[in-house]
Amino acid sequence: MKILSGLIKSTYFVFVFLGLPLIIVWVGYSQIWPLFTGEFTQQLGSIEVSYIQMAKFISSSWPRLAWQPRWYLGYPMSVLYTPFVPVFEFVSHNLWGWSYSHAYRWLTAFSYVGGLVTLYLFTRTWFKNTAAGYIAALIYGILPSFMGLLYPEIALDRFLVDLVEPRRFTILVRWGEGPHVVSLMFLPLAALFLIKFLRRGNKWQLLFGSVFTALVLLTNSVGAWGLLLLSFAVVFGELTENPGRWQQVLGRSLIFAAVSFGLSAFWFNPLFLATFFHEGGGAWGFWKNQFPWGWLLGGAILAIYFFLSKKLLGKIFGVSGSLLFLGMMFGLVNTYYGSGSERLELVPQVLRLTTEVDIAVALAVGGVISAAGFILSKMHRNLLGLGMVVVIIAGSILMGGRQLRLISDLPRFAEPAEKAGIKLEQTAEYEIAKVLETKVKGQERVFVPGNYGFYLNYFTDLPQLRGALFQSAVNPWPDHIYFQTVNGLDADITLDWLKIANVGWFVFSGPRETFHDFKVDESKFAAVLKFDEDRQGDKIYQVPLKDTSLTKAVPQAILSVKIPINAIDRTPIAQYVGILESSRNQLQLVEKNNGVYEITGNVGDGELVLVQMAYAPGWQARDKSGQGLVVSKDPLGMIAIKPKQTGAQNIDLIYGVSGQVMVGWLATLTMWVFCGLIIFKFKSPMIEIKPKMAAKENVEEETVARFCG
């Protein structure tokens, strides 16, 4: 009997942890396998090039990693973006000789496949039901987006003509949401260890879960939103299932959250948080306006749901939490699409959470299967195992046909550009970048719209007004300048803004550019700029800059200019430009090292040194004698340096580590020390509190354990 029992357990283990995961791996790999190969995407509208450029930025600033001068008037490397993907590319390039683009392709392809397996493991753990985990993974990996059933604009965003592919394929391959997809591989593992820690309190579950949570945070903000809401649903579910252990659940939740954030605080410092989440102003404003009555109503609805869940669903693992997660995710995304042209955002970048809605739907179906298993176990213990095997077989058959149709067509869209016959050197993006490279003199920036901006710094080192990820900007004006330029009718204000940003060359894009950002006629720019040449419909203009250097000696009166209310506040904008162009003294700016500049030239009476780069905490300046100079922010967020004397200047401008960044470093260092104490001093289980009410019937858990291990 012992031999037979051991054989059964071994077979079950292989089936659950090898057989089913291999099927799931095949589902993802057979759809995406060409992404493991090649150098670059054939989908030129993809934003993936921006994440590849970030690895180049890391390389060009290594090892100092101080300042990134090419996008958005410059910004600290500490606000580059969530760092996991570009750092992986950088490390892969230096360890294995991979190109940054190939490293990106390999990582995102691996995550596309791995995300299905981690979702299976998480769902199986949450519901304590293998069939629930398997079917959830198949639904997420094979079926189209649930939101696409409601909104044609989502369903029509696809590659296939007669079949809607899984949404996650589209966002990765067409739109380049690589960090998002990578984060969705880590997300289920973070939630899995959170559940285990809440239930058992093991210190290793805490540490592993906190590491995976930190990886989600350090990979993508959209995935972080999904994990935050899923974690809330998990904790809520555990409270409904174990109301007598509420102190234990909440205590473990708080320590899990603290350790997780502490491990990522070295990057999520106050400066990064202030820039990365400033795009959520609309969402924050909405919730602020709902206080207090909207918050009270939401709290009341949650309390009613908690009471009903505890009474009706409390004995079924994971069901109450999964339904809550579905309700939250659907509510957020449906509000955005259902609000029409208003596009109401309840959280930042909510339109990108459609993939998280698909995860929520898959989990909800897993909850239904878990509930069915619970009912079968109550009818007869042997029915549970039989019923779940039937579910696994039926699910495989029902979705297998669709999977075969997908893999017959989907992989060709993931093929690299070179396999699809696309040569980057023959694209409009490459041509415009290289033409501008021959024209730019000195330290002029360029203005290139849409897709040209995404690719510019993949092909050249030219600084530009914009870039690819405005969340990194520490200066508030580049995005407003861009919006006014492509939408506004006032040519004179546009010219002033181009001078303020030291833009020397301007491209009005024609039909070759992908996104067609311009909503105004070319005549607006022809009236104030000097036409240079036409490249197959792309018109290149020169901006009449008085001085192309990024550093200018200007009257101190520039500090008294009123901060513009918006990008069309004519009076202060014109006043600023007038002062900017009033000085006859010329200064030179030379980059000596990353974030280290030398300024030379003459400054007259009543003048200061203006550097047309973004001011950020951490800038320091010294004169040739080593004395520190006052560095401040001018009314438009540029760097202003007050010299100690007039005449010849020799100033070192250095970007160092700001106090805000050091706060993040200190928080992470403190957390690593705490984690060491957890490993060597703390015993498991952590925060153990005996329940005040009886636990569930042992027969129930034993029944589930017979099938789920």
pLDDT single digits (tens) 527-562: 999 999 999 999 999 999 999 999 999 999 999 999
- The average pLDDT across 296-307 equals 92
Nearest to 656 by CA among 625, 687, 680, 621: 621
For residues 323 and 449, membership in a common domain is answered with no
Distance CA 392, CA 21 (A): 13
- The average pLDDT across 495-523 equals 96
The pLDDT value given to residue 708: 40
Q: What is the pLDDT of residues 201-233, one digit of tens each?
A: 999 999 999 999 999 999 999 999 999 999 999
Fill in the amino acid letter for 327. G
For residue 640, which phi and psi values (nearest 5 degrees)?
-120, 130
Domain assignment present for 71: no
Q: Is the pLDDT of residue 6 over 80?
A: no
Distance CA 390, CA 383 (A): 10
Number of domains forming the structure of the chain: 2
Query: Helix, strand or coil for residue 503?
Result: strand
Q: Predicted confidence band at 695 (pLDDT cuts at 50, 70, 90)?
A: very low
Q: What is the pLDDT of residues 125-160, one digit of tens each?
A: 999 999 999 999 999 999 999 999 999 999 999 999
Residue matched to tokens 């997300």:
187
Q: Are 180 and 110 in contact (CB under 8 A)?
A: no
The pLDDT value given to residue 326: 97
For residues 178 and 287, membership in a common domain is answered with yes
Evaluate the CA torsion angle 377, 192, 188, 282 in order and state its sign: positive
The pLDDT value given to residue 583: 81
Q: Is the pLDDT of residue 347 over 80?
A: yes
For residues 450 and 549, membership in a common domain is answered with yes
Strand order through the sheet with 551-555 = 551-555, 607-614, 638-642, 628-633, 619-622, 647-655, 596-603, 587-593
Q: Predicted confidence band at 697 (pLDDT cuts at 50, 70, 90)?
A: very low
Domain assignment present for 661: no
For residues 636 and 673, membership in a common domain is answered with no
Domain's final residue, options 655, 679, 694: 655
Average pLDDT score over the chain: 92
The pLDDT value given to residue 26: 98
For residues 221 and 113, membership in a common domain is answered with yes
Would you state the structure tokens that stand for residue 289, as one six-digit string?
Answer: 């306006």
Q: How many CB atoms lie within 10 A of CB 158?
A: 18
For residues 431 and 536, membership in a common domain is answered with yes
For residues 263 and 231, membership in a common domain is answered with yes
Distance CA 181, CA 192 (A): 18
Evaluate the CA torsion angle 48, 114, 120, 255 in order and state its sign: negative
Q: Is the pLDDT of residue 706 over 80?
A: no
Nearest to 477 by CA among 454, 503, 459: 503
Q: Is the pLDDT of residue 693 over 60?
A: no
Distance CA 639, CA 62 (A): 24
Q: Is the pLDDT of residue 468 over 80?
A: yes
- The average pLDDT across 653-672 equals 95
- The average pLDDT across 413-440 equals 95
Q: Predicted confidence band at 12 (pLDDT cuts at 50, 70, 90)?
A: confident
Least confident residue range of 270-279, 541-550, 573-582, 655-664: 270-279
Q: Is the pLDDT of residue 185 over 90?
A: yes
For residues 556 and 648, membership in a common domain is answered with yes
Q: Is the pLDDT of residue 703 over 50?
A: no
Q: Is the pLDDT of residue 33 over 80?
A: yes
The pLDDT value given to residue 281: 60
- The average pLDDT across 468-473 equals 83
Q: Is the pLDDT of residue 195 over 50?
A: yes
Q: Is the pLDDT of residue 279 over 80?
A: no
For residue 600, which phi and psi values (nearest 5 degrees)?
-130, 160
Q: Is the pLDDT of residue 23 over 60?
A: yes
Residue matched to tokens 């792309």:
538
Domain assignment present for 48: no
Least confident residue range of 91-95, 117-121, 241-245, 410-414: 241-245
The pLDDT value given to residue 701: 43
Domain's final residue, options 631, 655, 679: 655
Domain assignment present for 487: yes
Q: Predicted confidence band at 382 (pLDDT cuts at 50, 70, 90)?
A: confident
Query: Helix, strand or coil for residue 446?
Result: strand
- Rounded alpha-carbon distances, angstroms, from residue 562 to 569, 630, 635, 641: 10, 21, 7, 19
Would you state the structure tokens that stand for residue 334, as one six-digit string?
Answer: 């449906």
For residues 463 and 588, membership in a common domain is answered with yes
For residue 568, which phi and psi values (nearest 5 degrees)?
-120, 20
Domain assignment present for 47: no
Owning domain of residue 197: 2-36+81-416+666-708
Query: Helix, strand or coil for residue 445?
Result: strand
DSSP state of 416: B
For residues 342 and 449, membership in a common domain is answered with no
Would you state the structure tokens that stand for residue 694, as one six-digit string?
Answer: 């009886």
Domain assignment present for 65: no
Q: Is the pLDDT of residue 681 over 50?
A: yes
Helix (H) / strand (E) element for 619: namely strand 619-622
- The average pLDDT across 433-450 equals 95
For residues 526 and 510, membership in a common domain is answered with yes
Domain's final residue, options 614, 634, 655: 655
**pTM above 0.75?**
yes
Q: Predicted confidence band at 705 (pLDDT cuts at 50, 70, 90)?
A: very low
Distance CA 271, CA 79 (A): 7
Domain assignment present for 259: yes
Top-confidence range, 12-26, 467-481, 627-641:
627-641
More confident of the two residues 129 and 280: 129
Fill in the amino acid letter for 621. A
Q: What is the pLDDT of residues 560-613, one digit of tens each?
A: 999 999 999 999 999 999 999 998 888 999 999 999 999 999 999 999 999 999
Nearest to 362 by CA among 175, 152, 122: 122
Domain assignment present for 69: no
For residues 641 and 694, membership in a common domain is answered with no
